[in-house]
Amino acid sequence: MAKIIGGYFTSHVPGIGGAIVRGDQETPYWKPFFDGFPPIRAWLAKERPDVAVVFSNDHGLNFFLDKMPTFAVGAAPQYDNADEGWGLPVYKSFEGHPALSWHLIDALVRDEFDITTCQKMLVDHAVSIPFELVWPGVEAWPVKLVPISINTVQYPLPSPKRCLALGRAVHRALMSWGGDERILICGTGGLSHQLDGPRAGFMNPEYDLFCLDNLAANPEALTGHSAEEVAELAGTQGVEILNWIAARGAMGDTPMTEVSRNYHIPISNTAAASLLLQAG
C-alpha cells in the first residue's frame, strides 16, 4: 500500500530563484531563509519519497484569464517549466505519474470534487523553486510529480474550508491507490505578503504564526476565515496559504511530528517559512 511519509511546506517567491542563481545562500540577507532547508534535505535523503503531490498556484504561465480553473489536477507524463518573463532560469522538467493522476481524478470526481483535468500543464516557479530548495543541483528530480493547482488569482477563490476538504479528498484517493509508492505531500507559497496597491509590503507575523502553530494539529482553525478575510490578514498574495491548507488535508488526520520549522522576515516582499511535518 502507498504510504504518505510527510508534508513539506515552503514559500516559493521568484526572488529565491534569483538568490540561487547568484549563489547568495550564505549572504546575511538570505542565510536565515536558506538555513531552514538542510534539515528538510537530510530528512528527504533518509525517507526517499517516490512521488510528490504538490499543491500550488499558477502565476500566469499555464493558466490565463480565458480559462481559470478553481482546482486543476495534472495528468501529464511530463511537466515542463518555461520562461515566465522576469529572468528566472528555465528549470528542469518533471516526470509525471499519469496512472496515479488519473486515479486521483477519478476518485475526486466520484467524491464530488469537480476538478479540471490537464494532460498538458506547464508548472511555474511555485513548483520548481520548492524542488530546487530541497534537491539543489540534482541531475534529475528524484520524485515523480502530481501537480494540483489552486486558483489564487481571480476571485472568488475557493475558501480555506473547501481547500481543506479538497485535500482530505485527495488523502482518501491516495489511500485507495493500489501502488506501493512513498508519497510526499507539498504545499507551496506564502506566507503573508502583498505586492499590489497602496498596502504593498504588508506582512502579518501574527497571522503567519497562527497558521504555523495550528496547521499540524488543528487545521480547522485556518478554515474560520473566508478567502477575502485571508487576503486582508495575510495580504493579497498571502492567500497562497490555501495551498498549504489543501496539502495539510491531503496528509490525513494521523498525528504529526514537526521535524523542522523556519520563519523569517523578509525575503523579497515576503514573510517566508519552511515547515516539515512527518506523518506519525
Partner 1 sequence: MTSDPVRDDNARRKAIPLFDGDLARRGYALNAMCFSFNEEANRKAFLADEEAYCAKFGLTEEQRDAVARRDVLAMLEAGGNVYYLAKLAGIFGLGVQDLGALQTGMSVDAFKAMLVRQAEAIPQGARVREAV
CA distance 257 to 42: 16
Q: Measured from the CB atom, is 17 or 252 closer to Fe ion? A: 17
Q: Measured from the CB atom, is 76 or 212 closer to partner 1? A: 212
Shortest Å distance, C-beta 138 to partner 1 = 24
Q: Name residues whose C-beta falls within 8 Å of residue 25's C-beta, 6 or more positions apart in sequence.
A: 19, 31, 34
Looking at 2, 3, 24, 35, which residue binds partner 1 (CB under 8 A)? 35
Looking at 116, 214, 223, 260, which residue binds partner 1 (CB under 8 A)? 260
Helix (H) or strand (E) holding 164: helix 160-175
Among all chains, which residue has been given the C-alpha cell 534537491?
135
What is residue 178's DSSP assignment?
-
Cell of 21: 542563481
Shortest Å distance, C-beta 192 to Fe ion = 12
Strand bridging mode 3-10 / 116-118: unpaired
Question: Judged by CB under 8 A, does residue 150 bind partner 1?
Answer: no
CA distance 128 to 83: 12
Question: Judged by CB under 8 A, does residue 87 bind partner 1?
Answer: yes
CA distance 150 to 240: 9
Cell of 107: 476518485
Cell of 272: 517566508
Rounded to 10 degrees, what is the CA torsion of 254, 260, 266, 270? -30
Looking at 69, 92, 266, 279, which residue binds partner 1 (CB under 8 A)? 266
Q: Measured from the CB atom, is 188 or 262 closer to partner 1? A: 262
Mind telling me the catalytic residues? 125, 193
Shortest Å distance, C-beta 170 to Fe ion = 21
Shortest Å distance, C-beta 231 to Fe ion = 14
Sites for partner 1 among residues 196-225 (CB under 8 A): 196-201, 203, 205-206, 209
What are the residues binding partner 1 (CB under 8 A)?
Answer: 15, 32, 35-36, 39, 59-61, 64-65, 82-87, 153-156, 194-201, 203, 205-206, 209, 228, 231-232, 236-237, 257-266, 268-269, 271
